[in-house]
Amino acid sequence: MSDTSQRPKAAVAGIDVGGTFTDLVALDAEGAIKLAKVPSTLQNQAHGVLNALAAADCKPSELSLIVHGTTTTTNALLERNLARTGLITTAGFRDVLELGRRTRPQAYGMHGRFVPLIPRDLRLEVAERMDSDGNVLVPLDKTALRAAARQLRDAGCEAIVVHFLHAYANPRHELEAIAELQTLWPNDHITAGHQVLSENREYERGVTATVNACVQPLLQRYVQSLSDTLATQGYPGDLLVMNGNGGMVSARHVAKEAAKTVMSGPASGVMAAAYTARRAGIPNVITYDMGGTSTDVALIRDASPSVSNEIEVEYGMPIHVPMVDVRTVGAGGGSIARINSGGLLDIGPQSAGATPGPICYGLGGTDPTISDANMLLGRLDPKGVSASSGGTENKVQHIVETQIGKPLDLTATEAAAAILQVANTKMAGAIRMVSLSLGADPRDFALFAFGGAGPLHACALAKELNIPRVLVPARPGLTNALGCVVADLRHDFVQTINAPLQTLKPTQIAEIFTAQEAQGKHLISNENIPTTEIENHYSLDMQFVGQTHLLRVPLTKPTTSPEDLQALFEAVYRKRFHVDLNEVQAAVVNVNCSVIGRRETLDLGQLFDPHKRKTTLKDAQTRTRDVFFDTKWHPTPVYARDSLPETFTLIGPAIIEQLDTTIVVPPGDHVTPDHDGNLIITIAGAT
Amino acid sequence: MNVDPITLTVIQAGLQQVCDEMDLTFSRAAFSPVIAEANDRSDGIYAAEDGALIAQGNAGLPVFVGTMQYSTRTLIAMIASGEVSSPEPGDIYIVNDPYLGGTHLMDVRFATPFFRDGKIFCWLSNTGHWPDTGGAVPGGFSASATAVEQEGLRLPPVKLFKRGQLDQEIFAIIKSNIRVAEQRIGDVQAQAAALLVGQERLTALLDRYGDAQVSEAIAELRSRAKTQMLACLTEIAPGTYPATAYVDSDGVVNTPLTIALTVTKDEMGLTFDFSGSSKPCLGPMNSVRATTLSAVYLAMRHIFPEVPMNAGAFAPLTVIGIENTFLDAQYPRPVSGCAAEVSQRIAEAVFAALVTALPERVTAAPAGTSGNFALGGHDPSKGRDYVMYQISGGGYGGNADHDGLTNGCSTIGISKAPPIEIMEQAYPVLYHRYALHEGSGGAGAQRGGFGLDYEIELRRGHAKASFVMDHGRFGPQGALGGGDGAVNRVTVWRDGVAHTPEHLSKEQDIPLLPGDRVHVQTPGGGGYRDPLSRSPDLVAEDVRLGRYTRNQAAELFGVVLEDAAPTPDNDQTQTLREEKRATQK
């Protein structure tokens, strides 16, 4: 722990590389804010990063901290643009990575493809075997191991994975194998299964380790080259990289556990939401990040994002390390509307994507999308969205009318309203399922809207879900970059013990927590980043003996008696399922500890330039346009977000425009700003 | 129609949401891993007057498509005739009788009347696969049963909950007739909790949109699903499409059972005529009417997944000719194989018939067996008895787009296989191999996917091994000139001596001692179109990856590989393929 109150404020920049844009939020030493949004350069993301710094006039030499959210590993995985990687595994089990868990991609339809991350000829077997208690049944054949490693090296593998059965119970053979490999492998891209994840499921552990190995060389090269470039431009500090758990780690260490950076971008958005919501005094929110092709949803309780150890990046690719639980649901602005063979209106799952995109972009799109409906109904400014000078309104109107309106006997306007209604119904259903599957009732939350399209739909969705309030942050389109600036240092630890309560030794759990705390504290002090305090969060994953699903039980203190644990678990279970099962015994499966190094707080009020503020609402109004709500057109005032006064109350209908998004306020909803400049929208009629 | 099309869509999504939330509640709260992990359960909403399906959860096990409408219909009829006492709010009926619109005994159904203003508006029902319902063998899959009484406890519809209260007396009878009874209270509560959640959510939907409007929407959605299914069926040219599929044996008499199917397309839709199929059998490979119909529906849903699931979608599909065959067994024929195996052979027959009519949509036959290997015994180190199930998948069929998937789950299931590490923790077994079944994919321009090859050793105590599998005699069918997938093989090594079950894929209670091993190779999927037209490079790639041998490349695909790297020798390949084509004609 280090006390920072005496030091001058650090100049810090958060830079998030997304699929389309690279965003930057920076604070200089005086606390002044700088923002930038530049196109991403996906071939080498570093160019975009440097462009963003230049666009914001941030000199690396004047920054003391750069925090970076990257999609390097995510893109590499999804595009299968991976380092050539070999596997050495227990004799008899090289196909585990290809056989998976015996599934198909969808419940209905006998089609489906699956390509394992490592091809069969690069998966080699050696004699060795542990049983489930960690007893050695067959000793490790080190001669065979060395031969296998040479074979993989000669086949051009850059990274190697060692994955043995039951290594979570006894890692001895994996450790011995690593020691051998270090003598003959040409680099340090060596991953052992148990070191990334000490969990008892061979497919999930094996895939997690393999993902780690396949992206490690790429991430290593990327952060190295970016660090070097920043250093030559005078940046004196360590580059920090966002992990999928919402904490950040030094670029020097990040590649070792590269799998943890998958989901880095979405996680930083959720961390920014958690930070913003806590300062706003609204600690329970559902985040709703709607972009062009998809929508990410996450749950934040008591200002802490829900974290999962079981993210599945795509079909057959589980990554079981703690990551912020971001679920992708439903539609994006580019989702296509059509009439199905039953004569009903359907939205998605096909998307017009970014190119050609919605018709209203004017880039050649010809399928009607959600964005087109928003434009036709006056919610989006046609001039704001179109890339073509001639305007696209007539074309959009014509296509929506002929493709959607005619079959349903509706006008173009009614058809556009129908598209939004159906899209909102489906998205609301998906959000509801996400929150229910996490044990939460959406009515107890506020909706935190960000991303380019989130604030367009948030109020309608909130109404559908009976959510009373919507929070729109200051910079909805720069939320991920803001997450980089406000993120804490964080390390998560999971240990599987799988013990019924009656078999627990009195201090067993407390001892595990103590070891986890010490390890976390050590890692944080090594990062060399100022923190204000270190927090430990304890939880247990529990179940009734005989069940397979786990419920997470948060603990307020690391020492809790087995009797209290049984009672705590029963209470959590009752709350979740409305069922009492006190005659059945509970078991502790995982012991979890998160060690968080809190950083100094950032005043979000700085995200607005005070000089742009007007004194009255009227002065902030730029124009009036007709917007369609419910069944008719309403003359609707349009405001510039940056010009809004410090305090006001506004009653919808209203449109609030800013560079990175458009906020739609339906008739009757109330908008007020809070001290950080967030807009708090109270939904009319919500209970 | 008075409901506007947009409200209709919104109500449709709302009804679906009710069912999806029931599915979620049931799985998350259940104890039985069969329900919690394998999702062997389903929830739905059924019409008050005739039990017709209104909506069903998307996460339900495919084999239950359509079955609960038959059990609900039977329940409604029995209430009307006075055989079953009248429903009151809060009642939940329990039933598992296969002959009253069911599957096998382990699939236990709950049904509750949903009241509005004192009248039944609809029924909510769900099915969950209980790990045991009594009978001769743990788990209920007896390969040698000859009467349903040997398969377990058969429950007629009775009220397990009366006005919201669990009837402890009925539950006591159930508990004293089933194994591992102490955990069943958790499953019963979970199954009931799902129905309660359904009631809550449906009430909210009706309060919002009004009972009259929702009723109208339900009728309209049913008619539209019919329209949509008919629209899909226009892709099929009028005519008749025959196919045959075989079940290895009934487990008791060692002769194959024949499913003889002729599909006829006319303007009314499709007729599935099963006349000419085998007579009811002595062993447990009988199907019951509800399961047979459901198998046809689920096959059609695999072909047209975009059609929403309600009774209207099934209306253009007519099943005839099952009377007096093993596809419509009557009491007391044993039926434990109906849901897991016979249903998949029925689906295979539907695929085989329609792949000629819909070559772009339908795949060659998938492995199509649940591959059930049960090991029951005593573990001396834990001092307790156990029953272990190893349920396996196999290869899927090649198709117009791509090669078949390797190690997919059964046609009727969506469950995940348990990890080896968890199996070895829970049971006294050691896996020696869990590998790709090499060479098993049926040859084709797009080949079938590969099956699984595993070998398990018993480490401690004594145990008995039982197998209820299929495709041991005939491999999954290739399509449009593709070859069949490899057959299922079971070998039991007892004291170093190999034993093959007489029925190949089925046998009951083979005694095992420590050191004895069970070796299973599951089927590959059928190949799609002529293997001689498969790209030689793809064949070489499969050889390089050890999926086929060089000999198989030549024999099955007519591809000759150069000696060094496995790359195709184009001249020799061309010559060999010409020879093979000549002999084919």
Cβ <8 Å between A200 and B419: yes
Tell me if B425 and A200 make a contact (CB, 8 A cut-off).
yes
Q: How many CB atoms lie within 10 A of CB B236?
A: 18
Please report residues of A whose CB lies closer than 8 A to that of B403: 113
Sheet bearing A239-242, strands edge to edge: A33-39, A21-27, A12-17, A65-69, A239-242, A247-250, A488-500, A586-598, A533-544, A551-555
> Which of these, B75, B70, B86, lies nearest to B118 by C-alpha position?
B86
Position A389 pLDDT exceeds 80:
no
Q: CA nearest A464: which of A626, A345, A288?
A: A288
Give the pLDDT of residue A390: 66
pLDDT score at A4? 40
Please report, rounded to a whole number, the percentage of residues in chain A having pLDDT higher than 70.
Answer: 96
Helices (H), A478-584: 479-486, 508-527, 562-577
Q: CA–CA separation, A648 vs B133, rounded Å? A: 66
Of B170 and A350, more confident:
B170
Residue A338 distance to chain B (closest CA, Å): 13
Q: Are B525 and B364 in contact (CB under 8 A)?
A: yes
Residue A592 belongs to what H/E stretch? strand A586-598
Q: Are A475 and A64 in contact (CB under 8 A)?
A: no
Task: Provide mean pLDDT across the span B211-231.
Answer: 94
The CA distance from A678 to the nearest CA of chain B, in Å, is 32
Cα(first)–Cα(last) distance of chain B, in Å?
59
Cα radius of gyration (chain A): 26
Contacts of A203 in chain B (CB under 8 A): 419
Query: CA torsion, points A461, A293, B399, B227, in degrees to nearest 10?
Result: 40
For B287-324, how does the pLDDT look when each residue is reduced to its tens digit (9 = 90+)? 999 999 999 999 999 999 989 889 999 999 999 999 99
Q: Quick check: B186 and A544 CB within 8 A?
A: yes
Residue B272 identity (one-letter amino acid) = F
For the stretch A413-434, pLDDT in tens is 999 999 999 999 889 988 988 8
Phi/psi of residue B40, each to 5°?
-80, 75
pLDDT tier for residue A575 given thresholds of 50, 70 and 90:
confident
- The chain-wide mean pLDDT, for chain A, equals 90
Element (H, E) at B578: helix B570-584
Place of tokens 């649901």: A329
| Most confident by average pLDDT, A118-127, A266-275, B1-10 | A118-127
- Nearest CB neighbour to A581, from listed B16, B186, B544: B186
Of A477, A460, A476, A496, the C-alpha closest to A592 is A496
Q: Which of B24, B406, B455 sits opposite A99 (nearest CB)?
A: B406
Pair A649, A670: CB distance under 8 Å: yes
Alpha-carbon span B61 to B391, nearest angstrom: 15
**Could you write out the DSSP letters of every residue in B434-477?**
EEEETT-SPPSSBPPPPEEEEEEEE-SS-EEEEEE---SSSPPP
Q: How close is the nearest chain B Cα to the Cα of A74, in Å?
A: 25
Structure tokens at A100: 């998976």
Alpha carbon distance A215, A259 (integer Å): 7
pLDDT at B241 over 60: yes
* Residue A9 pLDDT greater than 60, yes or no: no
Most confident of A342-351, A426-435, B243-252: B243-252
Which residue shows structure tokens 């979890």? A592
Could you give the CA distance from residue B515 to residue B555 in angstroms, rounded to a whole number? 38
pLDDT at residue A686, rounded to an integer? 66
Nearest chain B CA: its distance from A90 CA (Å)? 9
Q: Is the CB of residue A124 less than 8 Å from the CB of residue A152?
A: yes
Segment B322-356, tens digit of pLDDT: 999 999 999 999 999 998 999 999 999 999 999 99
CB contact under 8 A, A99 and B189: no
pLDDT-based confidence at residue A687 (cuts at 50, 70, 90):
low
Between A17-21, A80-84, A673-677, the lowest mean confidence (pLDDT) is in A17-21
B421 to A166: CB separation less than 8 angstroms, yes or no: yes
Vertex B475, ends B469 and B476: CA angle to 5°? 90
User: Nearest by CB to B58, which of A99, A107, A422?
Assistant: A107
Residues of chain B with Cβ-Cβ distance to A579 below 8 Å are 29, 186, 189-190, 193
Please state whether A100 falls in left (phi above 0), alpha (psi between -120 and 50) or beta.
left
pLDDT at residue A5 above 50? Answer: no
CB contact under 8 Å between A426 and B193, yes or no, is no
Closest by CA position to A35, among listed A655, A553, A480: A480
Segment A637-658 shows an average pLDDT of 96
pLDDT in tens, B496-512: 999 999 999 999 999 99
Mean pLDDT of chain B: 94
pLDDT of B458 reads 98
CA distance B371 to chain A (A): 12
Give yes or no for residue B160 having a pLDDT over 70: yes
Q: What mean pLDDT do residues A647-652 have?
A: 95
What are B224's two structure tokens?
């539209």
